[in-house]
Amino acid sequence: MLPNVRNDKHMLTVPKADGTFIQADMVKNWDEEKWMQEFKYLSEAQMHYLVLASPEKLGRGVVEMCLRTAQKSGFKVFIGIHYDRAWWRKGSRDRNWLLEQMRIGSRIADSLYAKYHNLYSDSFHGWYFAYEVDNIKFSSRQKFELLADALNLMLAHLREAGHRLPVMISPFMKSSWGRAKTYSDNWAWLFGATELGEGDIFCPQDSVGGGGLKLEQLDHWLDLLKKAVDTKPGIRFWVNTENFDHKYWSSAPLERFIKQMEIAGRYAEKIITFSYSHYYSPNNIDKRFHEAYFHYLRTGSLPAHEPQPPAKINVKRIGAGGRRISWEEPENPEEVFGYELFRNGRKIFSSYEQRRYGGKPHNKQRVFTDRNILRWRPWVEDYEVRSVDYVGNVSKKTKTKLT
């Protein structure tokens, strides 16, 4: 049974996401009923903001539907101004190309503002700078000078045209690409060199879901980025907490997501996420994510229930050095988010619940072919498999041994 939003008065003050990103391609065929359903789920999750990234290529109907239903639901929306995939090849290398994208984006902003702002002034809250800056393409002051010129071109146009709403920027980082201090110093310089100011939002991706940072590195990076923001009065510091796992492009167990938010909450005025709508909403995945998160909001803790282990594991030899491992579902498979397979104590395979939009074709797969076994340890092989639930609780391991 899905949670009842009327219980809001009993909610605790815990680290939580106040908004989510949603990609326009996922919602391009949504009708008003579907949008209203999504905002109902997000309201139950105590959110107030939505970031609609780069909708213009799918037609203005997506923008209008989003803003109309957001206004009915009491949400504030940041609209992606413009995006071109060539950014990843040209963004930091081709000055003329980048400045032209800012001009194109400015014209799109003119059109969006003229068409929708008066109609939906309560929900049309801000602009989202859809180009994701990182610390490898933008690793030097020279690159940040180019970025500053591009931002100033766009910001000046918005100001002069009379639609200078709050602008959100959400860059990411990878620790193997450079030092946190270098990245934060470059951002501090950019804040001083641009028109970014009162009400604008610097909202770095925490990069944990994407694999750029380990959870134990996050505190250090956010600390320095917050100090960079503090050098420019008026800029607000939010954090974009990633609730996915790049290794499998699956949802992150809620336990990890809560730990990320606990760290982000030490520095951020608000937390948003990429993306509750994609990875936790009942519109796109099993409702148990949403139910467990609501339990956390209400009680301050996640459900601590040990899932049942797989009923049986089977191993079949294949050829000269391979084995086909399969396992049977537990008695209550609906509690299971996924499975993890181990050989000699080392995890070699994982399979998790997939999203309806954007998920992999193999949903909670219960078979794996282990090849070239003779290279590793021919005389004995232990296989174990366990269940994982939506929170991150794990079952006991179901075991088998070959000799």
227-281 per-position pLDDT tens digit: 999 999 999 999 999 999 998 889 999 999 999 999 999 999 999 999 999 999 9
Q: Is residue 306 assigned to a domain?
A: no
Pairing relationship of beta strands 312-318 and 236-242 according to DSSP bridges:
unpaired
State residue 5's pLDDT score: 44
Confidence at 60, pLDDT banded by 50, 70, 90 = low
- Total structural domains in the chain? 2
Domain boundary among 242, 273, 299: 299
Total residue count of the chain as it appears in this document = 403
What would the mean pLDDT of 59-74 be, rounded to a whole number? 92
Q: How many CB atoms lie within 10 A of CB 56?
A: 21
Q: For position 102, which CATH number holds?
A: 3.20.20.80
Position of tokens 């008065």? 9
250 & 278 share domain: yes
Domain boundary among 299, 328, 349: 299
Cross-strand bridge partners of residue 328: 312
245 & 372 share domain: no
Q: Is residue 307 assigned to a domain?
A: no
Pairing relationship of beta strands 270-274 and 19-23 according to DSSP bridges:
parallel
Examine residue 275 and say whether the peptide bond preceding it is cis (omega within 30 degrees of 0).
Answer: yes
Tens digits of per-residue pLDDT, 92-143?
Answer: 999 999 999 999 999 999 999 999 999 999 999 999 999 999 999 999 999 9
CA distance 136 to 153: 23
Q: For position 360, which CATH number holds?
A: 2.60.40.10
Are the beta carbons of 127 and 81 closer than 8 angstroms?
yes
128 & 163 share domain: yes
340 & 197 share domain: no
Cross-strand bridge partners of residue 250: 245
Alpha helix locations (H) across 9-59?
24-27, 32-44
Q: Which domain holds residue 362?
A: 312-402
358 & 211 share domain: no
Domain boundary among 299, 329, 364: 299
This prediction has a pTM of: 0.92
Confidence at 210, pLDDT banded by 50, 70, 90 = very high
Cross-strand bridge partners of residue 59: none
Task: Name which of 208, 291, 268, 235 is nearest 15 in CA terms.
Answer: 268
